[in-house]
Structure 1
Amino acid sequence: MPESLDLARVIAAAVVLAVALVVAIVLRMLSGRLNKRAGDTRWAWDDLAARLLHDLAVPLSLLAGVWGAANALSLKAGTLSGTANVLTAIAIIVITLACARMFAGVVASIAMARQGVAANVTIFANITRVVVLGIGMLVMLQSLGVSITPLLGALGVGGLAVALALQDTLANLFAGVHVLASKTIEPGDYIRLSSGQEGYVVDINWRNTSIRTLSDNIEVIPNQRFSDTILTNYHRPAQDMSLLIQAKVSYGADLEYVEKVVVEIGDAVMAEIEGAVKEGQTLVRFHTWGESSIDFTAILRITEFGEQFRIKHEFLKRLHRRFDSEGIEIPLPTRRVLLPENGRAADDLVLR
């Protein structure tokens, strides 16, 4: 009789495990379909909820099956209690990992919505993961009967020592958070530091910021550098910007006609060349009586900082060709030296 009873318990436990496995497979299939359907929508929150269900379906079903099997076997009270503690700890770990992934996705979605589709910011997501995992570990220890009060006190003292040892790292961390919170720079912006580094911001993580230079190299800059340097952001307040091109003409040129020619060339370049603001207006401003020329600035509009080289290249080619065909002189620097001879001024000598 006892042997048949034990066999019946084993069979019951096996049936419970089999049912739990079937439920886990069914939930996995359903959550997979739900996850796929959620991916077809534009709303990001349903993707995160579907992914959470997809992550929790199988492990929680199997844990529930193991707990049911343990009860079906009618284990001793101590063994059953230990099994419950272990299963609870495993469940907390599984839920913590899934929640860390979900909350990191929530933070990433919010950052994406605020900073644009090109944003690639990892610092907020990483901080979120660390916080959720830390809370989960404390809850797991508490569930196992470990008092976390002394642990928190030890962590406080140890945290102070770690903070003193990692001053530079923490300074970079908080500097990165401050930069992102204040939206001084964002991934995709073109920046230039007073120390000379410049390029497109690629990523801002917990320690440093990566920028891609125009020569396609990556420069890594500590976040703390941004708090004690002068920074120019060429994508603020907007990406489109004015391109200032310096030029000069001789004193004998008709300035009205020169302005007309430069405006025609500038408008043609902005209308035809990619990277220019199509509806932009070319401006000409004469500003300096030079030693051998009248200097002026041509002002064009470009869509973003990196387009200036193409626009400037095409504008100068066309302007040089047009000045040459119109007979507008681009003067070379000259000096006039007067040499006294027998008390009278000598002939002028022109130095080129």
Structure 2
Amino acid sequence: MVLDFLPYGSELFAGIIILVSVAIAKLFNLLLSRYVHRLAKRTESQLDDIALVAVQRPIFFGIVLGGIFIAVRYISLLAAYTAEISMGFSIIFTLYGLWFAIRVTNAVIEWYSTEISAKTKTQKDDQFLPIIKKVVMGVFGFIALLMVLGQFGIEITTLVAAMGLGGLAIALALQPTLSNFFSGAYLVMDRPIRIGDYIELDSGERGTVDDIGWRSTKLKIFGDNLLIIPNSKLADAKIINYFYPAKPYTFTVNLGVSYASDLDAVEKVTLQVAREVLKKQGTGRKDGEPFVRFKAFGDSNIDFSVYFQVKEFMDKFVLRHEFIKALKKRYDKEGIEIAWPTRKIFYGDAEVLRSFKK
């Protein structure tokens, strides 16, 4: 080689290789920007556009890094350090591969988030994408760490076994926390409850779901207070979700009228009042009319129920309040008696009692 006859000829040749690699990297970058990007923009999917942006810088630095790796081999002053240089470049290439993989992964997640997840009705993917991203980054980082440690001659098998035992000890110590974590994952994936749902637990607590975290779930209860429930407890609880699968809710108001009442008149008046209150409150379903069902001959009353269909569970409280007030006023006006428990007592001589029994 002609350069071998020049002072520092090998170093000069190495410099030329590096310059050529930089020129090739810039040319490749220019081709990507001017031509490949134009072709990518013609496609309907954004995946190729996002992927090209993600790999453009890694490819540039990868070509330059490859040129430096080749150039270093021609520098005679470094010939005595070949083993050390090879180890150093192995570590650099490992970190480069980690960087490349992270950028590609981020690009795919970004594409899924903007193009796929945005079109879905569910929020599962929105909640899980950050977790998936962190898990993938952790796996890539762990693999890269093992490869780097292997370059330093550290026995990876022994390290993995030690980490396994250490992980088992940590898992046992963090069992309650991990239980809440996986219960939170179940709540997010299975979605028996969602943020904004009004729920009732088997223990009697009621409230609106304010937040579903990885350790606990928060319910906003009466008085704007927060009830914080560990996810492991919530996952095992029996839950009534008043907003799932739909918000419309049917509830009853139980009533009773005296045996002397005209039941046809009672039904007519009760329905009139129910319709008036529903119209005034504006909380009834458009396709849901109130109706009356007589149920039983009670001890003092003829028992019946009025059924209301409202837009959501919380509407029932004010509606029931206004209905009871309006119905009492209307019954008083119509002379309909709401009886209270009464008993008839007979007393007298034995002859009168025997005649009554007959």
Question: 1:133 — aligned with what?
Answer: 137
Question: 1:199 — aligned with what?
Answer: 207
Deviation, 1:166, is: 1.2
1:294-305 paired onto structure 2 within 5 Å: 294-305=302-313
Q: What is the identity percentage for the equivalent residue pairs of Structure 1 and Structure 2?
A: 31
Q: Tell me which amino acid in the other structure corresponds to 1:245.
A: V
1:90 & 1:292 partners in 2: Cα distance?
86
Question: 1:189 — aligned with what?
Answer: 197
Deviation, 1:206, is: 2.9
SS in 2 for 1:301: strand
Question: 1:174 — aligned with what?
Answer: 182
Question: 2:170 — aligned with what?
Answer: 162
C-alpha deviations, 1:209-231, integer Å up to 9, x for none?
23333654443211111344332
Tell whether 2:71 aligns with 1:67. no
C-alpha deviations, 1:254-291, integer Å up to 9, x for none?
22122122223434555665443211132212335556
SS in 1 for 2:167: helix
Question: 1:219 — aligned with what?
Answer: 227
2:140 & 2:230 partners in 1: Cα distance?
31
Question: 1:86 — aligned with what?
Answer: 92
Tell whether 2:293 aligns with 1:311. no
Q: Tell me which amino acid in the other structure corresponds to 1:193.
A: L
8 A contact 2:198–2:206 mirrored in 1: yes
8 A contact 1:210–1:219 mirrored in 2: yes
Deviation, 1:298, is: 1.0
Deviation, 1:160, is: 1.5
| Aligned match for 2:262, one of 250, 254, 279 | 254
Give unpaired runs (5+ residues) of structure 1: 346-352
SS in 2 for 1:305: coil
Question: 1:350 — aligned with what?
Answer: none
Q: 1:104 to 1:187 in 2, by over 3 A?
A: farther
8 A contact 1:271–1:278 mirrored in 2: no
Question: 1:349 — aligned with what?
Answer: none
1:54 & 1:64 partners in 2: Cα distance?
15
Deviation, 1:299, is: 0.8
Q: 1:183 to 1:118 in 2, by over 3 A?
A: closer
Q: Tell me which amino acid in the other structure corresponds to 1:63.
A: F
1:104 & 1:119 partners in 2: Cα distance?
16
| Aligned match for 1:230, one of 226, 235, 238 | 238
Question: 1:348 — aligned with what?
Answer: none
8 A contact 1:189–1:234 mirrored in 2: yes
Q: 1:216 to 1:54 in 2, by over 3 A?
A: farther
Q: 1:136 to 1:7 in 2, by over 3 A?
A: same
2:222 & 2:125 partners in 1: Cα distance?
19
Aligned CA-pair RMSD: 4.8
2:93 & 2:272 partners in 1: Cα distance?
78
Tell whether 2:169 aligns with 1:151. no
8 A contact 1:121–1:205 mirrored in 2: no
Question: 2:334 — aligned with what?
Answer: 326
Deviation, 1:65, is: 5.2
Deviation, 1:205, is: 3.6
1:102 & 1:141 partners in 2: Cα distance?
23
8 A contact 1:191–1:198 mirrored in 2: yes
8 A contact 1:16–1:65 mirrored in 2: yes
Deviation, 1:21, is: 7.2
Q: Tell me which amino acid in the other structure corresponds to 1:258.
A: V
2:337 & 2:41 partners in 1: Cα distance?
68
2:213 & 2:42 partners in 1: Cα distance?
32
Q: 1:261 to 1:170 in 2, by over 3 A?
A: same
SS in 1 for 2:207: strand
Tell whether 2:274 aligns with 1:266. yes
- More displaced 10-residue stretch of structure 1: 7-16 or 276-285: 7-16
1:275 & 1:37 partners in 2: Cα distance?
51
2:232 & 2:86 partners in 1: Cα distance?
54
SS in 2 for 1:252: coil
8 A contact 1:100–1:132 mirrored in 2: no
Find the structure with the greater CA-based Rg: 2
2:104 & 2:260 partners in 1: Cα distance?
77
SS in 2 for 1:279: coil
C-alpha deviations, 1:77-112, integer Å up to 9, x for none?
553652353143143145236526845985999999
SS in 1 for 2:180: helix
1:22-33 paired onto structure 2 within 5 Å: none
- Structure 2 length-normalised TM: 0.69
C-alpha deviations, 1:26-63, integer Å up to 9, x for none?
9799999999999xx9xxxx5677555544444x1453
Give unpaired runs (5+ residues) of structure 2: 1-5, 353-358
Q: Tell me which amino acid in the other structure corresponds to 1:153.
A: A
- More displaced 10-residue stretch of structure 1: 16-25 or 217-226: 16-25
1:104-119 paired onto structure 2 within 5 Å: 116-117=121-122
Q: 1:257 to 1:133 in 2, by over 3 A?
A: same
